[in-house]
Amino acid sequence: MKRDTFIIGFMLFALFFGAGNLIYPPILGVSSGSSFFPAIIGFIITGIGIPILAVTAISYVKNDARELGNHVHPLFGLIFTCLVYLAIGPFFGIPRAATVGYEMSVEPLLQNTSSAALLLFTSIFFLAVLFVSLNPSKMVDRIGQLLTPILLLSIAALVIGGLILFNQPLPTASGDYAQNPFFTGFVEGYLTMDAIAALAFGIIVVQTFKERGLSAKADIIKATLKSGTIAGVGLAIVYASLGWISARMPNGSSFVNGGELLSEAATQIFNTSGTLLLGIIVTLACFTTSVGLVVAASQFFAKISPVPYKWLAVIITFASYLIANQGLNTIIRFSVPVLVFLYPIAIVLILLTFMQPLFKNKQAVYRGAILFTAIVSLYDGILELGVKMSFISEYMTMLPFSNIGLGWLLPAIIGGFIGWVLSKIQKREASV
């Protein structure tokens, strides 16, 4: 079982490690500069800690993420989970992975953008994704034993080259990193949105452990936490290494885009072959994440519909293929508002799962916390669509941390407290 734990941990690392996770740490490294260490610690806490908590939270349930939402109401659990799987699956997560893979691997070699080239790349990409996804029982071995080592070796080559060649002094911290590097890094980690993906990946981990002989709930929770820790350590090393070499890279501060910065770093380290190496890293990262999302979404919708798993895998892959060919900018424009709405709700659900003993799993606490969180996150999502709501904006901007996307935090606490008070009142009235 120890060997299985490591293999599943490697698989989880590869599932989490998408192209976006490659892009954020380099920009953090350049922007934080001399304040790199507190910034990367904050980033790791939310960019890795919350997703690992989410995976572990799923090990507490019997079937899937619906059970987390069922504490609010079964209908909420169904709708919320469907939205999560659609957002991180065919509507956004999978198409984004494919298009980012194209833009950072094929496009630099072509020196221009071509819709025909994107079509050819996505055709090959999604055929490979479907091939691996059609047999999910073999996915762990294919990703955990084969693809993850290749991915890690490619990243190691890039990092070692950077550590040897880049020796510039750390630049002065800029922007918010100059004032509060830890908290700024903390918020940047939150914006990776891996906590939502963890709700999908968690059930893959749990089911894999069950298939390999674990049945007791305590054993599954323990094994899930161990595999999550293995993935988390790997991610932390990669994030810190990419951020560090970017901070010490010559002229790194002249880049504002993490993808461009990483491409330039690869070129400086390995000349033109660096572009090819980075292309391998990005394509593998995007591929493993896409496979995990197709499998997770197909398994979920197979449970709630009469459509067989394999047909759902085909449908989800084909829908992702169609949307991917609309281009990355279009995908982001329509999908980010949905993610901005869903992500705070997911975080609150995850945290409440571990806080159940404090309020004895009272439904009113869940309802109050989620309701207040959803009001603020819905407002933030509508703003992302470009809709101005001046009549309530002046009140929303008064919320603590609203300027950094955490305006929902205090309302969530207040809503949960109100729910706890109401549950006490109802209990007292029932006993009279």
For the record, the structure tokens of 120 come out as 């050819």
What is the residue range of 400's domain? 328-432
Residue the block writes with tokens 């079937």: 63
Q: Is the pLDDT of residue 246 over 80?
A: yes
136-171 residue pLDDT tens: 766 656 666 667 777 778 888 888 988 888 888 888
CA dihedral (300, 301, 306, 312) in degrees, to 10, reads: -110
> What's the rounded Cα separation, in Å, for the pair 98 and 121?
9
CATH number, position 122: 1.20.1740.10
- 126 and 28 fall within a common domain: yes
State which of 276, 308, 326 marks the end of a domain.
326
- At 213 the three-state DSSP class reads coil
- 293 and 371 fall within a common domain: no
- 286 and 349 fall within a common domain: no
Domains held by the chain: number: 2
User: Residue 141 has what pLDDT?
Assistant: 61
User: Residue 123 has what pLDDT?
Assistant: 95
Q: If you average pLDDT over residues 42-66, what whole number do you get? A: 86
Let me know: does 330 contact 95? Beta carbons within 8 Å.
Answer: no
User: Residue 408 has what pLDDT?
Assistant: 92
User: Residue 421 has what pLDDT?
Assistant: 92
- 211 and 343 fall within a common domain: no
- 346 and 370 fall within a common domain: yes
Percent of the chain with pLDDT over 70: 95
User: Residue 112 has what pLDDT?
Assistant: 65
> What's the rounded Cα separation, in Å, for the pair 149 and 393?
49
State which of 310, 326, 342 marks the end of a domain.
326
pLDDT-derived band at 349 (thresholds 50, 70, 90) equals very high
State which of 285, 302, 326 marks the end of a domain.
326
- 319 and 361 fall within a common domain: no
Percent of the chain with pLDDT over 90: 28
- 286 and 141 fall within a common domain: yes
- 153 and 252 fall within a common domain: yes
- 277 and 163 fall within a common domain: yes
Amino acid of residue 183 = F
Residue the block writes with tokens 């904050």: 42
> What's the rounded Cα separation, in Å, for the pair 184 and 254?
20
* Phi and psi, residue 13, nearest 5°: -55, -50
User: Residue 330 has what pLDDT?
Assistant: 80
Q: Is the pLDDT of residue 91 over 80?
A: yes
- 238 and 160 fall within a common domain: yes
> What's the rounded Cα separation, in Å, for the pair 42 and 36?
10
357-375 residue pLDDT tens: 888 888 999 999 999 999 9
pLDDT-derived band at 47 (thresholds 50, 70, 90) equals confident
User: Residue 145 has what pLDDT?
Assistant: 65
> What's the rounded Cα separation, in Å, for the pair 158 and 73?
48
CA angle 156, 162, 168 (to 5 degrees): 155
- 243 and 110 fall within a common domain: yes
- 111 and 236 fall within a common domain: yes
pLDDT-derived band at 309 (thresholds 50, 70, 90) equals very high
Q: If you average pLDDT over residues 37-54, what whole number do you get? A: 91
268-282 residue pLDDT tens: 888 877 778 888 888
